Structure 1
Amino acid sequence: MSKQNLYQHDPAIAIITGACPHDCPDTCSWQVAVERQSGRAVDLWGHPHHPVTAGRLCAKVDRYLERTYHPERLTTPLRRVGPKGSGQFVPISWDEALGAIAARLQEIIATVGPEAVLPYFYAGTMGYLQGEGMAKRFFHRMGASQLARTICSEAGFEGYVATIGATEGLEPQAFAHARLILIWGSNTLTSNAHLWPFIQAARHQGARVIVIDPARTRTARAADEWIPIRPGTDGALALALMHVIVAEGLYDADYVARHTLGFDALAQRVAEWTPERAAELTGVPAERIRTLAREYATTRPAAIRINYGMQRHAGGGMAVRTIACLPALVGAWREVGGGIQLSSSGAFRHLDTTCLYRPDLLQGRTPRTINMNRLGDALSLDPAIRARAHYHPRPVDPVPTPAEAGPPVMALIVYNANPAAVCPDQEAVLRGLQREDLFTVVLEHFQTDTADYADYVLPATTQLEHWDLIKPYGHLYLALNRPAIEPVGQSLPNSEIFRRLAGAMGYREPCFAQGDEEILQELIAAQRHPRFATVTWEALLERGFVRLNLPEPYLPFAEGNFPTPSGKCEFYSQRLADAGYAPLPTYTPPAWQQQAAEQGDSTAHPPLTCISPPAHSFLNSTFVNVERLRRREGVPTLQIHPDDAAPRQVVDGAPVTVWNQRGRLTLRAVVTADIVPGTVLVPGIWWAKLSPDGRNVNQLTAQDEADMGAGATFYDVLVWVAPAVDLNPAAAEARGAMAVAG
């Protein structure tokens, strides 16, 4: 019996439909059972009628009630009374908190200017309203610095859009019709679990599933084949695949002629990329590259699933651009189950958010934009360092001088994010957060690493307690979240907190008086594009989710019609050329490859490449404090190949020290052949305060930017590894050198 059937006839229970807000492509629709008398949620499950959720939730969100009713949930505003970082606070009233925050912000604006205020936010919720809605109105009215949200997917999006025109592609249901599925740089069972049933349906019909990844992930173990690849070399593999496809005449000449641009130039480019050349870079044998190219080109339909991890390196944007050329080259877009998926968010690109975000409140001002990856730089008082934090995503964009850096950040407002844990170059971020002259306000559910550095912490509601509208990036169903319970304690929705802050600041525009339902109804009513013809407020209230007005099945590019300037899949991109990039697919090596080549054999134990994908039980830094999930993960670990462990005297299960020029931490070694040699894997993202070492992997990551979009480079890190008995990095390296020499 389904849970819906279990509760729907119980007069003591109300069933409320909502949607998961977290940073996941699945964007599940859920139902919540609420006791009518007590108002308490007693159960939660995946909506049985949602075509993608199909009645199931992931292991993380299945514990969402534990998170909502967690004993450490913040339920009252807090004011800091101890040193920054100590986590010492006292409860205060909302009026006291809002009055003090508004007074300090007004003082900073009057003396330094509104750009001295920086909002910092990301995907703690993916909802339009609680994510950015009222907050954007507030900061637009203020004229605060703006934030470039680059930390996750920006490089890959830029590369994909340059080729295809928008982040559109296969919807998950189409994978069930594929005969060959390449899961390339995606751990589907951890980060996209609701795609897996469609992949399994394809396998039951005889499809073959191949995973291309530096690690034998859960997904790779469940697939038909794992092709190990060195991190950041995916672009070289894609070029070699195209080399074989073109050289052997396996491309779809008709589709290429009608629906692509620049094939002749592409053919010349890939002629240079023999499988032997790519094998040296990728570690994938040349013969396997040849057979993979033939399998992909001759199997119909063929689907590719790529994800964000593959673009978190110095050549990430170009790697995604290059892989995105493959479906058009072989005509895979013609058929149901053929094509590629990075994200479905581009399918929603016509959604008009003007009435929600109210850019008119800027009144013609153009505040500086800070790259969120460079928060450590942004919080510096040195203008030369602060200038590096300005967002300049393309080669043709001017790099600000120190004189153009703008005022120091004097106020940081953090919501839907935990930068002390998730930002690169953790030590630089913490130095900034420790500044006594930095006024920090954090909206949160829990006392996170970041909240420990706040001057004021404001308790926010969870998804069970507020209205929102959620846009997915893994399917085509817009979802409405209805509040199922009253706010826990004195917590308030983000929208209400910024509404009250606006009032305390003296902002009297009518938009700050709108209620949440009114805002969402206005947003839905404002849509004019035909894709939203099916999306009405009434339909959302009735069902909880509505599919975009697109055909079923949806073949976005079967007849071309790419949303590029040419209307074709652009093997050659003038838009890229104008932005200062190479107009044709090419190989931009990861930084680790360049750095390792420069170092040569200068050390007895060469550095290893470190990647840090999500732990299976966490979602970024969310759920780390749910004890059941943290127990499931155990302790922070480092996976290392036996060939790398033995010369370093690293033993399975023993502590190891991992370090580079930015920081150091201690982890438990997992010696395994499930990682390519020369690479270590550190699952993230642990809260530092909940890690035995008091640090996490972002001690090691850099604020460096990828080749496109100023994206993050979390998986492009060189580290040294040694047994943890040597806590001094220099001593550890010397000990390793002596061991090798002896």
Structure 2
Amino acid sequence: VIDPRRTRTARLADRHVAIRPGADALLLAAMAQVLFAEQLVKPGALTGQLEGLDELGTALADFTPDAVAAACDVDAATITALARELAAAPTAAVYGRIGSCTVEHGTLASWLVDVLNILTGNLDRPGGALFPLSATARAPRPAAPGQGSTPGKGFALGRWASRVSGHPEAKGELPVAALAEEIETPGEGRIRALIVLAANPVLSAPDGDRLDAALAGHLDFMVSVDPYLNETSRHADVVLPPPPPSQSAHFDFAFNSFAVHNQVRYTPAPVPLEEGRMDESEIHARLVLAVSGMHGAPPSAVDDLAISTTLGKAGAPPEAAAGLTGGSGPERRLDLMLRLGPYGLTLEELLAHPHGIDLGPLKPRLPEVLRTRSGRIELLPAPVAADLPRLRRALEGRPAPLVLVGRRHLRSNNSWMHNVGSLGGGSNVCTLQIHPDDAARLGLKDGTTVRIESAGGGIEAPAEITDTVRSGVVSLPHGWGHSRPGTRMSVAAATPGANVNQLLDGTLLDPLSGTAVLNAIPVTVTPCG
């Protein structure tokens, strides 16, 4: 495990490498460089699907273990050994998630995770990294005649830009860090109305104070779909509370696409809704109708439009929607997606198996899943190649003496669960974890209230002295800061914690994805009083 903290996962690992935060892309690049330099590149079954292999080796040639060791604070011998062991392992998978993505070079780190799996032949094979196939995925596309894959639309960045700072779009989205300026800056195209669905960006977005002020004083209208009057929804003109999970049906679209085993399950609402109460899908449908000026249309019109769109994207005739079952529009839509999916299931089959249906282990799916214009694995996309000089410049910088990283609690889903009393207490507290050596240097004792300051702002939190973080690193969980007036979250307000995003000014972003940099933030820590 490569992590600046000794996490639960790291405690189970054979080896824990406590890397300097933010240096993940450098370490991964050096591992790939070793594979090229020592002729350990063996893509296996992927060899005939690769494009740009030689160019990739040239692009990474400068990132030697010796060159990156100081920046990573991992010695060159360890980096070299990691690469060799990965190449020699009969089965292996390199895996990275939130920690390695929410840093200054997060997109490059994510790309290099895939690169290492490809170079060692561990992508798309049992024992390595495989792609799941959910029951509602689009059915596999047939290959073009004479080709092993069908060319896709490709992936384009920066087709348009944000109005104020010119941030390039990525997949049709803009950085949340730009939301406040897009609301408060006058001119054509200013955001004047906002719909917030089960989110609390005042706590979860960078520079929450600025966004808080923008929501309070610059919007013409705001609606929140939320069970709580929280730090964000308190600004809404209308709050639409959805029913609780016990009165809601559930089908997991998201996590079935990340699964380690293919399966499918549908759970109808265990408790019926009260007469006249809207479920969440009807709330969303009525918002769609209101925004589109179709106030008098029934919510079923949105379902019919969604069904028609699904048929069109699948290239299926209208007759494919005949005989759909389900007691609601969303159930009919789910039934259609299941029927058009790769397993040809129906909603009735899912209802007949309340504990789920086992769809089998993951299987190789390349080149079927590729969406590149070439229909091949493009190892060095132009935007990535253009960003590598910025990574090289990171080798020239001087590391900050103390940097901040985040952490997540098992009983606290971001900012959502802090108002549930049964989940509070224990380890679910907002403390600044700090290494004993750093605490001694700064004159801190366990429980001391400290002031944490960065270029973006300052907050206070109690210190927790622990050797689970490496020296030079402090860790504060995100989603806290329940101290603003006007909320109705009494349980959360009793232990408000500190909002780590007040330390972020919103200007430091990964330029490829627009993701805010949430980890490896230079900070100072001083005792209060």
**TM bin (shorter chain):** 0.7 to 0.9
Structure 2 counterpart of 1:284: 74
Which whole-Å CA distance do the structure 2 matches of 1:346 and 1:310 have between them?
Answer: 26
Mapping for residues 356-371 of structure 1, pairs under 5 Å: 371=175
Residue 329 of structure 1 deviates from its aligned partner by: 0.8
TM alignment of 1:59-70, pairs within 5 A:
none
Out of 200, 204, 222, the position equivalent to 1:422 is 204
Superposed displacement of residue 494, structure 1: 2.2
Q: Is the 8 A contact 2:339 2:346 kept in 1?
A: no
Distance in 2 (alpha carbons) for counterparts of 1:346 and 1:712: 30
Matched, 1:243 2:33: yes
1:450 aligns to what?
A: 232
Report Cα offsets for 1:295-349 as digits up to 9, x if no partner.
11001111222212211122111111112111221112364112367xx599966
Do structure 1's residue 484 and structure 2's residue 270 form an aligned pair? yes
SS, match of residue 296 in structure 1? helix
660-669 or 432-441: which moved more? Answer: 432-441
1:474 paired to 2:258: yes
User: 1:318–1:667: structure 2 CA closer, same or farther, 3 Å change rule?
Assistant: same
Quick one: which of 500, 518, 529 aligns to 1:714? Answer: 518
Corresponding residue pairs, total: 462
**What is the deviation of 1:718?**
2.3
Matches within 5 A, 1:121-136: none
Confirm or deny: 8 A CA contact 1:427 1:662 kept in the other structure: no
Letter paired with 1:635: V
Q: Secondary structure at the match of 1:555?
A: coil
Q: How does 1:203-352 map to 2 (within 5 A)?
A: 211-252=1-42, 254-255=44-45, 257-333=47-123, 335-339=125-129, 350=138
What corresponds to 2:312 in structure 1?
A: none
What corresponds to 2:189 in structure 1? Answer: 406
1:542 aligns with 2:347: no
Equivalent residue for 1:556?
Answer: 365
How far 1:683 moved relative to its partner? 1.4
2:459 counterpart (665, 668, 675): 665
Q: Distance in 2 between the 1:253 and 1:314 partners?
A: 29
Q: Summarize the alignment of residues 129-168 of structure 1 with structure 2, pairs less than 5 Å apart.
A: none
Instruction: Deviation per CA, 1:421-479: give whole Å up to 9, x if none.
Output: 21111111111122176433222222322233333322211222123432124214344
**Match status 1:696 vs 2:499:** yes
Matched AA of 1:582? A
Unaligned stretches of 5+ residues in structure 2: 141-161, 164-172, 304-325, 484-491
Check 1:220–1:458 CA distance in 2 against 1; reply closer, same or farther (3 A cut): same
- CA deviation after TM superposition for structure 1 residue 215, in Å: 0.9
Secondary structure in structure 1 of the residue aligned to 2:266: strand
The amino acid that maps onto 2:437 is D
Letter of the structure 2 residue corresponding to residue 720 of structure 1: T
Query: In proportion to residue count, which structure has more strand?
Result: 1
CA distance in 2, matches of 1:459, 1:685: 21
- Contact 1:266–1:572 (8 Å) recurs in 2: yes
Deviation at 1:674, TM superposition (A): 1.9
Q: Is residue 2:483 matched to residue 1:683?
A: no
RMSD (Å), alpha carbons: 3.5
1:617 to 411, 415, 431: 411
Question: What's the secondary structure of 2:424's corresponding residue?
Answer: helix
Deviation at 1:531, TM superposition (A): 4.4
* SS of 1:238 mapped into structure 2: helix
Q: Secondary structure of 2:35's partner?
A: helix
The residue type paired with residue 385 of structure 2 is A
C-alpha spacing 1:492/1:518, structure 2 compared with 1 (3 Å): closer
d(CA) in 2 for partners of 1:281 and 1:348?
44
**8 Å CA contact retained: 1:255, 1:328:** no
- Check whether the contact 1:702–1:717 (CA below 8 A) recurs between aligned residues: no
- 1:550-699 equivalences in 2 (<5 Å): 552-557=361-366, 562-573=370-381, 577=382, 580-582=383-385, 586=388, 588-589=390-391, 597=398, 608-633=402-427, 635-689=429-483, 690=492, 695-699=498-502
Q: Which residue of 2 aligns with 1:463?
A: 245
Name the amino acid aligned to 1:423: A
Q: Deviations over 1:681-704 (max 9, x none)?
A: 111222523365664111112323
* 1:507 aligned onto 2:288: no
Identity of matched residues, %: 28
Shift of 1:648: 2.1
Structure 2 CA distance, aligned partners of 1:709 and 1:437?
Answer: 27
User: SS of the counterpart of 2:330?
Assistant: helix
Please give the per-residue CA displacement for 1:531-558, whole angstroms capped at 9, x wherever unaligned: 4333311122222476697x6441234x
Q: 3-state DSSP class of the match of 1:375?
A: helix
- What amino acid is aligned across from residue 32 of structure 2 in structure 1? M
Aligned with 2:70: secondary structure? Answer: helix
Q: Would the alpha carbon gap of residues 349 and 553 (structure 1) be closer, same or farther in structure 2, given more than 3 Å must change?
A: closer
- Give the whole-Å Cα distance in 1 for the aligned partners of 2:297 and 2:392: 49
Shift of 1:512: 4.3
Q: How big is each residue's C-alpha offset from its partner over 1:361-397, in whole Å with a ceiling of 9 and x where there is no partner?
A: xxxxxx99654332222321x24xxxxxxxxxxxxxx
Over 3 Å counting, the alpha-carbon distance change for 1:561 and 1:453 in structure 2 is closer
Q: 1:227 Cα deviation (Å)?
A: 0.9
TM-aligned CA deviation for residue 256 of structure 1? 6.0
- 2:374 aligned partner, one-letter code: S
Distance change in 2, residues 1:540/1:373 (3 Å): farther
Structure 1 equivalent of residue 156 of structure 2: none
Q: TM-score, normalised by structure 2?
A: 0.77
1:97-138 per-position Cα deviation (integer Å, ceiling 9, x unaligned): xxxxxxxxxxxxxxxxxxxxxxxxxxxxxxxxxxxxxxxxxx
Distance (whole Å) between structure 2 residues aligned to residue 531 and residue 339 of structure 1: 23
SS of the counterpart of 1:461?
coil
Residues 517 and 316 (structure 1), Cα distance of their counterparts in 2 relative to 1, 3 Å cut: farther
Alpha-carbon deviation of 1:216?
0.7
Cα distance, 1:533–1:671 mapped onto 2, change above 3 Å: same
Indicate the SS of the match to 2:223.
strand
**CA shift in 2, pair 1:490/1:526, >3 Å:** closer
Q: Which secondary structure state, in structure 2, belongs to the residue aligned with residue 213 of structure 1?
A: coil
Query: Is the contact between residue 339 and residue 345 of structure 2 (CA under 8 Å) also seen in structure 1?
Result: no
Go from structure 1 to structure 2 and tell me whether the alpha carbon gap of 1:437 and 1:280 turns closer, same or farther (over 3 Å shift): closer
TM-score by length of 1: 0.56
Q: Distance in 1 between matches of 2:137 and 2:211?
A: 33
- CA separation of 1:490/1:517 partners in 2, compared to 1, >3 Å: closer, same or farther? closer
Task: Supply the distance in 2 between the matched residues of 1:716 and 1:619 (Cα, whole angstroms).
Answer: 22
Are the counterparts in 2 of residues 318 and 587 from structure 1 also a CA contact under 8 Å?
no
Residue 706 of structure 1: CA displacement? 1.4
Partner deviation per Cα, 1:456-508 (whole Å, 9 max, x = no partner): 32221122212343212421434423111134798642222244556776523
Is 1:533 aligned with 2:343? yes
1:414 counterpart SS class? strand
Q: 1:491 to 1:419 in 2, by over 3 A?
A: farther
1:232–1:590 Cα contact (<8 Å) kept: no
User: Gaps spanning 5+ residues in structure 1: where?
Assistant: 1-210, 353-366, 384-402, 601-605, 726-742
Equivalent residue, structure 1, for 2:330: 520
**Distance 1:481-1:416 versus aligned 2 partners, 3 A rule:** farther
Are the aligned partners of 2:432 and 2:464 in contact in 1 as well (CA < 8 Å)? yes
- Equivalent residue number for residue 52 of structure 1: none
